């Protein structure tokens, strides 16, 4: 009996984590892909705030007249409150990426609940805004992290297109080409404004790709904006 219980607990923890793979996500939890309005693309960034790189993204987004959603790490919010506030002051949406950028393979439900709640509180304290969304590091949405999001009043959302912009060989051309494979109306695009959990300096490729990415969306009649504008009253199907 104890063995069976342990197996059930492990399955409840690990099975949902398979949603980071596009196939299981589309088949089992399609809402996690963040599909929104057919005339809109949600632009999202993970792993900040980072005072070395995030302000450069904010400047380029200002030039492009685009607002986005930034999934931030709680410990970085506390460490860099000025950069966090700047994201909000420039009209962008802040969401929760966790407290640290860790891989949660062992069941740690109590810690998950504590850290996600702590990260959401850090965003509120820094900006005065209430985060709506949660995306776990690496997109590994374990059972514990799913529960943690619900306890914190956050809606889990992953992505439907990404740029594979975390690698050392990423270039503006490769980032754009990779996003383009799944770029269509209603897409949620995952990019990174920091190299905290990636190859040093890889964010530069993403930054350079942004103008072409936004231009391509607009040529195709797609508005680019944050998750909050991705559907009626922010509701994503």
Q: What is the C-alpha separation between 22 and 1, in angstroms, rounded? A: 35
Q: What is the C-alpha separation between 94 and 202, in angstroms, rounded? A: 22
Which residues are marked as active site? Answer: 46, 192
Question: Are 198 and 170 a contacting pair, CB within 8 Å?
Answer: no
Question: Are 230 and 236 a contacting pair, CB within 8 Å?
Answer: yes
The residue among 115, 211, 114, 205 whose CA lies nearest residue 168 is: 205
The residue among 214, 204, 185 whose CA lies nearest residue 53 is: 204
Question: Are 163 and 175 a contacting pair, CB within 8 Å?
Answer: yes
Phi, psi for 36 (deg, rounded to 5): -120, -150
The residue among 233, 216, 232, 237 whose CA lies nearest residue 43 is: 216
Phi, psi for 171 (deg, rounded to 5): -130, 165
**Two structure tokens written together for 145:** 């992290």
Cβ neighbours for 173, distance < 8 A, ≥ 6 positions apart: 209
């Amino acid at each position: 009996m104890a063995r069976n219980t342990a197996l059930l607990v492990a399955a409840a923890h690990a099975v949902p984590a398979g949603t980071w793979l596009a196939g299981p996500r589309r088949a089992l939890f399609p809402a996690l892909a963040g599909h929104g309005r057919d005339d809109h693309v949600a632009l999202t960034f993970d792993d900040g705030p980072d005072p070395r790189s995030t302000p450069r993204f904010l400047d380029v987004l200002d030039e492009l007249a685009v607002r986005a959603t930034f999934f931030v790490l709680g410990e970085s919010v506390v460490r860099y409150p000025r950069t966090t506030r700047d994201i909000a002051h420039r009209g962008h949406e802040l969401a929760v990426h966790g407290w640290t950028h860790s891989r949660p393979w062992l069941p740690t439900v109590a810690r998950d609940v504590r850290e996600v709640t702590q990260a959401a509180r850090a965003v509120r304290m820094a900006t005065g805004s209430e985060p709506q969304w949660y995306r776990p590091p690496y997109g590994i949405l374990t059972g514990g992290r799913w529960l943690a999001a619900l306890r914190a009043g956050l809606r889990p959302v992953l992505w439907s297109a990404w740029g594979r912009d975390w690698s050392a060989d990423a270039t503006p051309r490769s980032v754009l080409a990779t996003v383009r494979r799944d770029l269509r109306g209603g897409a949620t695009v995952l990019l990174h404004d920091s190299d905290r959990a990636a190859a040093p300096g890889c964010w530069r490729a993403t930054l350079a790709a942004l103008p072409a990415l936004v231009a391509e969306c607009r040529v195709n009649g797609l508005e680019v904006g944050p998750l909050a504008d991705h559907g009626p009253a922010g509701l994503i199907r």
